Amino acid sequence: MTDTVRDQQSSCVSIYVYEVPVRIWHWTNALAITVLAVTGYFIGSPPPSMGTGEAYDQFIFGYIRFTHFAAGYILAVAWIGRIYWAFVGNHHARELFYLPVWDRRWWQDLFTVVRWYLFLERQPKAFVGHNPLARLAMFFFFTLGVTFMIFTGFALYSEGAGQGSWQDALFGWVIPLFGQSQDVHTLHHLGMWWIIIFVIIHVYVAIREDIMSRTTIVSTMISGERTFKDGNPD
Ligand code: HEM
Ligand code: HEM
């Protein structure tokens, strides 16, 4: 369903794009990933385990690991919910999961956006959903990246949960697939930087496009509505 609202006073046109579950998922996911990156970094580069005081008072690393695993569960459950919404939500909810590589128009728009980001276009093109370059980046860096992090994260978790646990039954096979435990640690660690690269560029571009483009961007992920400042959604 697409709701288009034309403001009578100004020439603005708004189209409802991101439904409530997509928006709640986006911000929950952003928070979970921030927590996972901070705690994951400390798991890979641990602080000294002893602060001042008695040894039995120290549980810092325990808190770091617990927070990582709790955020990991939130990330995974939210991702399952997001996949479900791709089936039942509007067509924009599906954009994250595939690339329309057979569509000539999509490729043309992709190159137009690349030229715009390189300051080679004077007028930005407006898009109702994600622009094609954003979609490409989201698919490779995020959709594949987060799925990889969930599989490798639960595989590492299964080592602690032990044989016979559901984590071992569902994800234990990932460890021999990549070699042994240390290989999975290294890949899981590299996956963090893969996602961090995406997040840095994503936040920069979202704010930049909010200012420079013909549409709202950041507020669209809050209200769900894309407003076309010049009233022209094409
Ligand atoms: C860890 C941090 C973040 C991650 C992993 C992330 C990831 C994503 C993903 C995967 C999407 C696609 C949503 C979908 O199609 O369902 C998206 C969209 C979006 N994100 Fe983020 N995001 C993060 C933080 C932020 C922040 C801090 C902002 C605000 C400055 C932001 C603004 C947006 C906007 C505006 C969109 C929609 C873009 C459009 O309309 O085409 N994100 N984000
Ligand atoms: C974007 C999401 C995630 C990020 C950025 C992240 C980051 C990290 C990093 C950097 C490490 C240290 C790896 C090393 O150097 O050895 C780590 C370890 C680990 N992560 Fe994650 N992780 C994520 C998702 C998950 C998920 C979904 C789970 C599942 C519960 C998980 C469970 C673990 C486990 C069990 C370890 C190993 C702890 C140990 O050394 O005993 N992670 N994570």
Q: Whose CA is nearest to atom 8 of ligand 1?
A: 26
Q: Which residues line ligand 1 (CB under 6 A)?
A: 22, 26, 29-30, 33-34, 95-96, 130, 134, 138, 142, 199, 202-203, 206-207, 217-218, 220-221
Distance between CA 40 and CA 65 in Å, rounded?
Answer: 8
Q: Identify the domain containing residue 133 by its residue range.
A: 100-234
Q: Which atom of ligand 2 is nearest to the CA of 192?
A: 5
- On whether both 81 and 140 belong to a single domain, the answer is no
pLDDT at 2 over 60: no
pLDDT band at 54 (very low <50, low <70, confident <90, very high): confident
pLDDT (average), residues 14-18: 94
Distance between CA 140 and CA 191 in Å, rounded?
Answer: 12
Residue 10 lies in a domain: no
Distance between CA 6 and CA 215 in Å, rounded?
Answer: 14
- Mean model confidence pLDDT for the chain: 93
Instruction: Please choose from 29, 36, 141, 197 the residue to mutate so as to test ligand 2's pocket, defined by most ligand atoms within 8 A of CB.
Output: 36
pLDDT at 104 over 80: yes
- On whether both 212 and 161 belong to a single domain, the answer is yes
Ligand number nearest CA of 150 is 2
Nearest in space to 195 (alpha carbons), one of 72, 37, 80, 67: 37
- On whether both 139 and 175 belong to a single domain, the answer is yes
Nearest in space to 156 (alpha carbons), one of 170, 172, 140, 141: 172
- On whether both 164 and 234 belong to a single domain, the answer is yes
Dihedral sign for Cα 185, 138, 26, 213, please.
positive
Are the C-beta atoms of residues 202 and 137 closer than 8 Å to each other?
yes
How does pLDDT run across 198-207, given as a tens digit for each residue?
A: 999 999 999 9
Which of 97, 117, 141 terminates a domain? The answer is: 97
Res 114: pLDDT: 95
Which of 78, 97, 116 terminates a domain? The answer is: 97
Q: Whose CA is nearest to atom 22 of ligand 1?
A: 30
Q: Which two tokens stand for residue 169?
A: 């039954």
- On whether both 105 and 93 belong to a single domain, the answer is no
Residue 145 lies in a domain: yes
More confident residue, 49 or 47: 47
How does pLDDT run across 207-227, given as a tens digit for each residue?
A: 999 999 889 999 999 999 999
- On whether both 82 and 195 belong to a single domain, the answer is no
What is the greatest pairwise CA distance in the chain? 69
Res 53: pLDDT: 79
Res 50: pLDDT: 65
How does pLDDT run across 144-180, given as a tens digit for each residue?
A: 999 999 999 999 999 999 999 999 999 999 999 999 9
Res 45: pLDDT: 93
Residue 234 lies in a domain: yes
Q: To the nearest whole percent, how much of the chain has pLDDT over 70? A: 94
Helices and strands (H, E) in the chain, number of each type: 9, 3
Number of domains in the chain: 2
Res 74: pLDDT: 98
pLDDT at 123 over 70: yes
pLDDT at 12 over 90: no
- On whether both 106 and 93 belong to a single domain, the answer is no
Please state which of the ranges 4-13, 123-132, 134-143, 162-171 shows the lowest mean pLDDT: 4-13
Domain CATH for 75: 1.20.950.20
Which of 45, 73, 97 terminates a domain? The answer is: 97
Q: Which atom of ligand 2 is nearest to the CA of 146?
A: 1
Q: Which residues pair with 16 in a beta bridge?
A: 225
pLDDT at 135 over 50: yes
Res 1: pLDDT: 45
